[in-house]
Structure 1
Amino acid sequence: MNICMAHRGWSGKAPENTMTAIRLALAEPAIRAMEVDVQLSRDGVPVLIHDFRLERTTNGKGLVKDHTLAELRELDAGSWLDRKFAGERIPTLAEALAAVKGRCTLNIELKATSDMYPGIAEKVLELLEQYDMKSEVYITSFDHELIRHVRTLDDTVLTGLIVCGRPVLMLEQLEEAGANILSMEYPYLTRDLAEEALERGYRVIAWTLDNPEHIRTVMSWHPGVEICTNHPDRMLEFV
């Protein structure tokens, strides 16, 4: 049966990449996976936030990487969505791991580009070792070289390439990076590609599906396609 993956936690109901969004997703047993975005604070702590800049989802300004963890923790990461979430904080990856452990798969997207966050792979793997969660996560990224680097550090953790578009030799790119997962924006994913990838032993994630008809269509292709959505309730109608 298709896995329902909550995008940035249950971001259709709560501020994305916050502990409230994570707890809401954990409260629904039918949600079997969750995606979060990870960057590093200036002092090298993995934190959950999507944008490289702070303005959209917090009351801060500037780049995430230019702020220490203490500075990031002072920001309001909830009021931008609704005043009832005022005071929501930017979580650390450690907090998310502690909450999710043993309850669902966590898809950790590394938001690095080029050498923006040196050491991010090592720091994330260190936390996974600390929490004994290497078998409970995916590590994915748009930066395919970073995924290749993760594989050189640890070949036991499942890794994936995130793709927006329809590049040639897609499955060959997965093989070259040593990746286990194809995570593709759903308008570019086809039934044929999904089926071929699954037949070759790769996992397939389609993102981000919020329209119920699109969800139902992609689910019909193959039960192995994992559906990443901001609105898990719209998918669970069909599960």
Structure 2
Amino acid sequence: MNVCMAHRGWSGKAPENTMKAIELALAEPAIGAIEVDVQLSRDGVPVLFHDFSLERTTNGSGRVQDLTLAELRELNAGSWFDERFAGEPIPTLEEVLAAVKGRCTLNIELKTAADMHPGLAERVLTLLDRHGMKQDVYLTSFDHELIRQVRQLDTDVKTGLIVYGRPIMILEQLRQAGADVLSMSYPFLTRELACEAINEGVGVIAWTVDDPDAIRRIMEWHPQVQICTNHPDRMLALR
């Protein structure tokens, strides 16, 4: 059965990448995985946040990497979504690991560009070691070289390449990076590619699929395609 993956937590019902969105996803047993985005604070703490700048989803400004954890924790990461979530803070990855452990799979996107977050992979791997969660996560990124480095650092954790577009020789790229998972923007993913990858032992994630017709179509391709969505209820209604 296709795994339902909640994108940035249940971000259709609560502000993305907050504990409230994570908790809503964890409260639904039919959700098998949660996707989150992780960056480093100025003092090197992995935190959940998607954009490199703070303006869209908080009352702060500037770059995530330029504020300490204490400064980030003072920001309001909920009111932009709905005033009911006023004061919702930016969570640390460690908080999320403690909440998720033993309950579902966590897809951790390493958010970086060029050399924006040196040490990000190492700090995330340290937390996974501390919480005994290497077998419960995927580490994925648009930075394919970073994923290759993660594989060199740790041969146990599962890794994945995030792809927007339809590059040639993508399965060869996965092998070169030592990656286990292909996470592809769903308009570019085809039934043929999904089935070929799965038949070669590669996990496949289609993102971000919110239209029920598209969800239904992708579910029909192969039962092992994981579907990442802001609205898990739309997918679960089709089962």
Q: TM-score normalized by structure 2?
A: 1.00
Residue 114 of structure 1: how far off its partner (Å): 1.6
Unaligned runs of 5+ residues in structure 2 are: none
Q: Does 1:2 align with 2:2?
A: yes
For residues 73 and 236 of structure 1, what CA distance do their matches in structure 2 show? 34
For residues 97 and 163 of structure 1, what CA distance do their matches in structure 2 show? 25
Q: Does 1:36 align with 2:36?
A: yes
User: What is the aligned partner in structure 2 of residue 156 from structure 1?
Assistant: 156
Q: Does 1:212 align with 2:215?
A: no
Residue 174 of structure 1: how far off its partner (Å): 0.3
* CA distances 1:117-173 after superposition (whole Å, capped 9, x unpaired): 110000000000000000000000000000000000001100000000000001000
Give the letter for the 1:190 counterpart: T
Q: How many residues align?
A: 239
User: What is the aligned partner in structure 1 of residue 222 from structure 2?
Assistant: 222
User: What is the aligned partner in structure 1 of residue 176 from structure 2?
Assistant: 176
User: What is the aligned partner in structure 2 of residue 125 from structure 1?
Assistant: 125
How do 1:1-239 residues align onto structure 2 when only pairs under 5 Å count? Answer: 1-239=1-239
* CA distances 1:3-23 after superposition (whole Å, capped 9, x unpaired): 000000000000000000000
Residue 113 of structure 1: how far off its partner (Å): 1.3
For residues 62 and 23 of structure 1, what CA distance do their matches in structure 2 show? 28
For residues 60 and 130 of structure 1, what CA distance do their matches in structure 2 show? 31
Give the letter for the 2:208 counterpart: T
Aligned-pair Cα RMSD in Å: 0.3
For residues 223 and 238 of structure 1, what CA distance do their matches in structure 2 show? 13
Residue 214 of structure 1: how far off its partner (Å): 0.3
Residue 179 of structure 1: how far off its partner (Å): 0.2
For residues 115 and 83 of structure 2, what CA distance do their matches in structure 1 show? 36
For residues 148 and 136 of structure 2, what CA distance do their matches in structure 1 show? 19
Give the letter for the 1:212 counterpart: P
Residue 48 of structure 1: how far off its partner (Å): 0.1
**Please, which moves more after superposition, 16-25 or 112-121?**
112-121
For residues 69 and 45 of structure 1, what CA distance do their matches in structure 2 show? 7
Residue 238 of structure 1: how far off its partner (Å): 1.5
2:87 is paired with a residue whose SS is coil
Unaligned runs of 5+ residues in structure 1 are: none
For residues 91 and 138 of structure 2, what CA distance do their matches in structure 1 show? 19
